[in-house]
Amino acid sequence: MVTLKLPKIIGHRGAAAYAPENTLEGIHTAADLGIEWVELDVKLTRDQVPVIFHDDTLERTTGAGGHVAETNYEDLRHLEAGSWFSEGFAGVKIPTLEEAVEVLLERNLGLNLEIKPCPGRERETAEVALDALSQIWDEHDRLLISSFSHVSLEAAFDLAQDWPRGLLLPKDWPENWADLADYLKVSSINLNGNTCTREQIEEVADLGLPILAYTINDLDRARLLRSWGVDGFFSDAPDLLREVVERMH
Ligand code: G3P
Ligand code: MG
């Protein structure tokens, strides 16, 4: 079994406060800041190419119409995903999972890959992404596969039992979250650090699993979560959290 070496800070979607989310530039930015891991979202194009992208629709970050699940990679690869963030990033593209991993390996970064399936593609997305990953990544102590979808996590379990998984909990927790964590044999609980309560953190702590909180861009909130027992943070501005985690043991 793989012993997961989780960091205390994970750059969210790369380093989304400083570079367009889920891009190679974002990964480089996190590495330049000295961050050890990044979180990236993966989903499938219509023709099943795993790409690093958050939304189901293209509009917000590319200005194009349509849905990722209805767009072939050949069309998606021409889109521009940087200028919505700032003109300095004009021309930046949507990376494939493979292209992102190349940069992660080059920059010696760990990866939290969030399986972010378009509706109805929960199992397929995990299967295709993990298959692609299995051919290019072998540092399983620096890899965490996570998802809000328990179908995606179950597929990840079926395909690669010894790859660490993280159960993502939304603002409103499913009633059976602890059973899911047990059934899916997850290695971490990744929860919404902006909405969770102290009582919830204490409930999770009873499972004895590491607790990661997303998406924390505020030092006071980070300090409070830390005092409640949170082990690590996802942040768009990961460098800012250093002073909080430096006090962590
Ligand atoms: O994995 C943590 C976080 O990324 C989950 O929410 O919507 O930013 O993917 P979201
Ligand atoms: Mg995410």
Q: In terms of residue numbers, what domain contains 23? A: 9-55+97-245
- Could you tell me the pLDDT band of residue 248, with boundaries at 50, 70 and 90? low
Please identify, by atom number, the ligand 1 atom nearest to the C-alpha of residue 214.
Answer: 2
- 54 annotated active-site: yes
Ligand 1 centroid to residue 214 C-alpha, Å: 7
Max CA-CA distance within the chain? 48
Q: Look at residue 243 in the predicted model and tell me its pLDDT.
A: 85
pLDDT in tens, 1-15: 678 889 999 999 999
Q: Look at residue 245 in the predicted model and tell me its pLDDT.
A: 87
Give residue ranges with CB within 6 A of ligand 1. 12, 39, 41, 54, 114, 146, 168, 190, 214-215, 234
- Residue 87, in any domain of the structure: no
| Alpha-carbon gap, residue 128 to 234, rounded angstroms | 25
Q: Look at residue 2 in the predicted model and tell me its pLDDT.
A: 72
Please identify, by atom number, the ligand 1 atom nearest to the C-alpha of residue 13.
Answer: 4
DSSP 96: B
Please identify, by atom number, the ligand 1 atom nearest to the C-alpha of residue 166.
Answer: 1
Cβ atoms within 10 Å of 12's Cβ, excluding its own: 28
| Alpha-carbon gap, residue 244 to 38, rounded angstroms | 18
| Alpha-carbon gap, residue 64 to 80, rounded angstroms | 9
- Residue 2, in any domain of the structure: no
Ligand 2 centroid to residue 40 C-alpha, Å: 6
| Alpha-carbon gap, residue 33 to 75, rounded angstroms | 33
Ligand 2 centroid to residue 246 C-alpha, Å: 24
- Residue 195, in any domain of the structure: yes
- Confidence (pTM): 0.97
Mark the residues whose beta carbon lies below 5 A from ion ligand 2.
41, 114
CATH number at residue 111: 3.20.20.190
Please identify, by atom number, the ligand 1 atom nearest to the C-alpha of residue 12.
Answer: 4
The answer to whether 148 and 174 have CB atoms below 8 angstroms apart is no
Cβ atoms within 10 Å of 140's Cβ, excluding its own: 18
* Whether pLDDT at 72 is above 80: yes
**Mean of pLDDT over the chain:** 96
- Tokens 């990544």 belong to 137
- Residue 158, in any domain of the structure: yes
Q: Look at residue 249 in the predicted model and tell me its pLDDT.
A: 57
Q: Look at residue 159 in the predicted model and tell me its pLDDT.
A: 96
Could you give the percent of the chain with pLDDT greater than 70?
Answer: 99
DSSP H/E element including 182: helix 177-183
Residue in 57, 168, 236 to alter for ligand 1 test, most ligand atoms within 8 A of Cβ: 168
| Alpha-carbon gap, residue 193 to 213, rounded angstroms | 5
- Residue 221, in any domain of the structure: yes
Q: Look at residue 166 in the predicted model and tell me its pLDDT.
A: 98
- Residue 91, in any domain of the structure: no
> Of the ligands numbered here, which is closest to the C-alpha atom of 148?
1
Closest-CA residue, ligand 1 atom 6, reads: 214
For the chain, the domain total comes to 1
- Residue 84, in any domain of the structure: no
Q: Look at residue 182 in the predicted model and tell me its pLDDT.
A: 97
- Residue 104, in any domain of the structure: yes
Ligand 1 centroid to residue 116 C-alpha, Å: 9
Of 28, 54, 78, 150, the catalytic one is: 54
* Whether pLDDT at 199 is above 70: yes
